[in-house]
Amino acid sequence: MRLLLLPFSLIYAAVTAVRNFLFDKGILESKSYGAPIISVGNLTVGGTGKTPLTEYIFRLLMPNYRCALLSRGYGRRTRGVIVASNGDTYRTIGDEPAQLHRKFPELTVAVAEKRRAGIETLLQLPQPPEVIVMDDAYQHRYVKADFSILVMDYYRPVWKDFCLPAGNLRELQNGVNRCNTVVINKCPPDLSPAQAQTIRQKLKLRSGQSLFFTSIVYGEPLAAGVEKSFADALKNAENRIAAVAGIGNPTPFFDTVRQRYGNRVKTLAYRDHYPFKGDDIKKIVEQTFDNNKIPVILTTEKDAMRICEIPDLPHELLNAVWYIPIELMTLFDDKDLFEHKIKNYVAEN
């Protein structure tokens, strides 16, 4: 099937290459702004782990700077520029912005299809942000981000991929040349220096570009509803777990749940950014239902947020929902260097 689509990929690659050429030559304008702007993006469609990296950046900078997130707000049912307020949900601003808005109440969150309009709105606020992080904006070149981080999935190397639609690349691999820093995410924690060097050689980075390797660390399950003990919840559910994920690449999440809880786990995958409904949760329960016991519904933090916003979700189902938080771990003792590069850019600008 990919071979049949390859001619269309060649056309797509040519169009994106011409577009990048026009920006590189200044024929299409990339506009600069007064505030430091950090872009977090990828070359690959689907989940590469941008959200935990974005959270990492905010935890690093927010003690010293007023920060803002600017996102397209993928999947929202609104249009235009919206600066998030307490009444906003994933339906109005998108799931990832809603997740960060809920997790960091002091963070300014805005969504806009046109990033220039979003930045101009943010900079006109009574207390404008001192740092703006643009999520999923690597291909949005109408805004000049002086510090861009390109996130790649260790298990989906770009040098083995094609452009859309035959492959998963949004542009050719040489798009790597535009970024300041590459982060290879979702690496095995025991990645060897030799393996890292092989990746470095495959990427063919230019002088001045930095390369870091990170791994995802899965925390202990947290209750989406009533706070209680996960061990007690599991016991009450007679050890039945429905592992539910509506993300780009659910395999690592499912593998983690299986490793921890074994054969008691039933996995259910939905498309990325799936808008869960009450009937979906009822079907999940029915598929793992036994002896009149509701199973533990174990999911990702982003999915839990969407599930918890289902109107009129019965309390017994809400209280059955748990999520596993994730954090980023920098490999090869490069944590200080990685953080220094980000802090240094912001301080100088």
Can you list the domains of the chain with their CATH numbers?
2-65+130-217+328-348 (3.40.50), 222-324 (3.40.50)
Q: Residue 215 forms beta bridges with which residues?
A: 329
Q: From CA 347, how far away is CA 248, in angstroms rounded?
A: 34
Number of other residues whose CB lies within 10 A of the CB of residue 208: 6
pTM over 0.75: yes
pLDDT at 117: 97
Whether 290 shows a pLDDT value over 80: the answer reads no
* Residue whose entry in the numeric block shows the structure tokens 């235009």: 80
Number of other residues whose CB lies within 10 A of the CB of residue 120: 14
Structure-token pair, residue 234? 């599991």
pLDDT digits (tens, 9 = 90+) for 141-186: 999 999 999 999 999 999 999 999 999 999 999 999 999 999 999 9
Q: Is 325 exposed, middle or buried (0-12, 13-18, 19+ CB in 10 A)?
A: middle
As a whole-number percent, the residues of the chain with pLDDT over 70 amount to 99
Would you say the C-alpha torsion 107, 110, 114, 116 has a positive or negative sign? negative
Q: Which residue has the higher pLDDT, 294 or 120?
A: 120
Q: From CA 128, how far away is CA 262, in angstroms rounded?
A: 49
pLDDT at 60: 98
pLDDT digits (tens, 9 = 90+) for 321-335: 999 999 999 999 999
pLDDT at 2: 82
CA distances from 259 to 20, 36, 48 (A): 43, 42, 21
Structure-token pair, residue 39? 């872009």
Q: From CA 158, how far away is CA 325, in angstroms rounded?
A: 27
pLDDT digits (tens, 9 = 90+) for 86-100: 999 999 999 999 999
- Assign 291 a pLDDT band (cuts: 50, 70, 90): low
What is the distance, to the nearest Å, from the Cα of residue 116 to the centroid of all Cα atoms in its chain?
21
Q: From CA 157, how far away is CA 135, in angstroms rounded?
A: 21
Whether 270 shows a pLDDT value over 70: the answer reads yes
Whether 288 shows a pLDDT value over 90: the answer reads no
Structure-token pair, residue 320? 């059955």
Please compute the mean of the pLDDT values over residues 309-328 and round it to a whole number.
Answer: 92
Q: Do the beta carbons of residue 240 and residue 215 sit within 8 Å?
A: no
pLDDT digits (tens, 9 = 90+) for 23-51: 999 999 999 998 999 999 999 997 788 99
Q: From CA 196, how far away is CA 207, in angstroms rounded?
A: 17
User: What average pLDDT does the structure give for the chain?
Assistant: 94
For 8-36, letters b (16+ CB in 10 Å) and e give: ebeebbeebeeebeeeeeeeeeeeebebb
